[in-house]
A and B are shown apart, each in its own frame.
Chain A
Amino acid sequence: MCLRAIGYGCGMELKVTDLAVGRGGAPVLAGVSFSLPGGQALVLRGPNGSGKTTLLRTVAGLQVPMAGQVHGAEDRIAYAAHADGLKAALTVAENLRFWASVFGQSDIAPALAAFDLEDLVERRAGQLSAGQKRRLGLARLMVTGRDVWVLDEPTVSLDAASVALFADAVRGHLARGGSALMATHIDLGIEAETLDVSGFRAAAAQMASTDEAFL
């Protein structure tokens, strides 16, 4: 199930080996290893503050790992964080079109349809409800054309119907050969492996050197 036509790097798997991540110089997780082949999803679980966001930011390339490697992530990741990066003064269509052109794409219609935003295209993003904003933020993933979705709590402020829309979008993405790495607490009804990060908590003794911020 591999569609090369839409530019997905099929066969490439995201491979994380012995990764140690930290926040502000203090190690949070250590020894994290997993691999995520195309067409599969991996759900990260763990209590608040257990390092899920830090791990996702590291995989997305926003942070440098303290140890270990992330393979197969270059130019393949579409990252979605707690904040959707929407501009309140721009309309729904303008927001999506901007991200599409940043990622070298042009067609925003499938993303609008998948997240039921067609009636809102001319609405300013600042006038959307929290759930509608979230849907727009997730629709952004579909206009990136990237094949690894890295999602941090994607279902926050979504209602049940919207969660179903999101689950359908992820399922479609996986069927096209893409993959998804997400931190979420609710069951999306997607066939996915689960990784509990609380088992990888870094020992406090492994304090990093203080010049970490300058490396």
Chain B
Amino acid sequence: MRALFFRDLALALRAGGGFGLGLAFFLIVVVLVPFSVGPQSALLTQIAPGVLWLGALLACLLSLDRLLAVDWEDGALDLLATSPLPLEGIVAVKAAAHWVTTGLPLVLAAPVLGVLLNLAPSGYGVLVLSLALGTPALSMIGAFGAALTVGIKRGGLLLSLLVLPLYVPTLIFGAEAARRAAQGLDPSTPLFLLAGITLAVLAAMPFAAGAVLRVNLR
């Protein structure tokens, strides 16, 4: 398990691994929003939490189709499936590696990019907290979607369509928590709901993804 995790990290960080793709996309979205909205700092402050969350979600989505497809194409997934590792564990570990290489950089970059969107000072802490709580769910749901579409050539479109509805609750509560904090309100209710969703996803999705993968590998 640990070997798989570190292999995935090494692969993501080496040339052609796709590390930084999500981060660059996040940066582009957040940098371009002020240009498209215009020089109205009050409006930017108002939409900043939502834009940051949406940017992080789309950046996460962008890197999902590599999560299992690469291993499927070069045959490693078949070999892993015949190894002593359970498929549920393989999917969970790959989702964890995906989070470390995609979700975690987004969490760390969000406060810096918040400055570009004139985010209210009271919102920074909760923004980072909500992203830290929510992005693991994005990676795990994404791994489930990747398991559903593994074996489909250019399955990226189908993957996005399948995964987006499942991302909605995380997006709603995550952005809501960040917005409430930015406006000086108490963000604890959406944060608890966000944490609940993430825990439920982490508990259930590996089994769903493992079952789906078993069918798809046939």
Give chain A's interface residues, CB within 8 Å of chain B: 57, 60-64, 75, 77-90, 94, 97-99, 101-104, 140, 144, 213-214
The answer to whether A83 and B16 touch (CB under 8 A), given A89-B11, A101-B3, A214-B215, is no
Are B82 and A77 in touch, CB under 8 angstroms? yes
Q: In the complex, what residues of B have CB within 8 A of residue A60's CB?
A: 82
Closest Cβ–Cβ distance, residue B216 to chain A (whole Å): 9
Q: In the complex, what residues of B have CB within 8 A of residue A81's CB?
A: 75, 78-79
The answer to whether A83 and B10 touch (CB under 8 A), given A89-B16, A102-B3, A103-B83, is no
Q: In the complex, what residues of B have CB within 8 A of residue A98's CB?
A: 3-4, 7
Interface size class of B (residues with CB under 8 A): 20 to 34
Contact with B15, one of A85, A87, A89, A97 (Cβ below 8 angstroms): A89
Alpha-carbon separation in the docked complex, A97 to B71 (Å): 17
The answer to whether A87 and B76 touch (CB under 8 A), given A94-B10, A98-B7, A102-B3, is yes
Nearest-neighbor residue (CB-CB) of A101 within chain B? B3
Cβ of B81 under 8 Å from chain A:
yes
Alpha-carbon separation in the docked complex, A102 to B2 (Å): 9
Cβ of B217 under 8 Å from chain A:
yes
Q: In the complex, what residues of A have CB within 8 A of residue B4's CB?
A: 98, 102
Alpha-carbon separation in the docked complex, A60 to B4 (Å): 21
Task: Known pairs A89-B15, A90-B11; list 14 more (Cβ under 8 Å).
Answer: A60-B82, A62-B82, A62-B218, A78-B82, A81-B79, A84-B74, A84-B75, A87-B11, A89-B14, A90-B14, A102-B3, A102-B80, A102-B85, A104-B84
Q: In the complex, what residues of B have CB within 8 A of residue A86's CB?
A: 74, 76
